[in-house]
Amino acid sequence: MNEDKLQIINPFGPSIAKVKIPDKIIKTLNDHVDEIRANEKMSKKFDAGKSLIGNVSQEILLNQEIIKESGWLTFLASATRAWIKGVLRTDITKFNINSSWVISQYANEYNPVHWHNGHISGAGFLKVPSTFGETFQKDKKNLNGKLTLLHGQRSFMSDSQYKITPQVGDFYIFPHYLMHTVYPFKDTDEERRSISFNAVVDEKTFDVYI
């Protein structure tokens, strides 16, 4: 991936990479998830809900075959290499996905504040409802359905939150320890479908204390 196609965001300590998932990969992954969700046996086989923290309808684990065949692995590896190169001026030689999963979230469901395993994580969007609903009080900031990344504490010249409005194809890559949450939404029966991953890179690049 060319560095000019990747946006590096620095809202606080750790940087975040924002990239666009290619339409072909979005379609392949959505078709795969739709097929699994339509089959009760397959839904149970690939159910990742027991090992994840989200209070959502369903979380589906992607197997290694679809991760590779869809181009998802190549896309994430390329984006991560460009991000690390852009920030650290270092070329990584290893990128291994530990796991990747798709989250189907509906009205009144949410993902509490949490962090991931591995070295590198990310979150992005495969489907987005036409509305996330309004706030109960019209003058309040509407956070319905938003992904929020959290780090440190709010102080002068430093915000502790980076709020993201979901857009299909937008994907954000960040260090595994970066806390994040997804707010619930309402007034729709449409699905908010997101995708996440955990991966490891070169230990000498990740571990700053070596």
Domains located in the chain, CATH noted: 12-206 (2.60.120.620)
CA distance 172 to 121: 9
The closest of 30, 49, 47, 53 to 195, measured between CA atoms, is 30
List of residues 6+ apart from 9 with CB closer than 8 A: 15, 16, 17, 18, 162
Q: Quote the pLDDT of residue 72.
A: 98
Nearest-angstrom CA–CA distance, 169 and 206: 27
Q: What is the pLDDT of residues 84-123, one digit of tens each?
A: 999 999 999 999 999 999 999 999 999 999 999 999 999 9
At 138 the pLDDT is: 86
Confidence grade of residue 2 (pLDDT, cut at 50, 70, 90): low
Q: Please, are residues 37 and 60 in contact by the beta-carbon 8 Å criterion?
A: yes
Rounded to two decimals, what is the model's pTM? 0.92
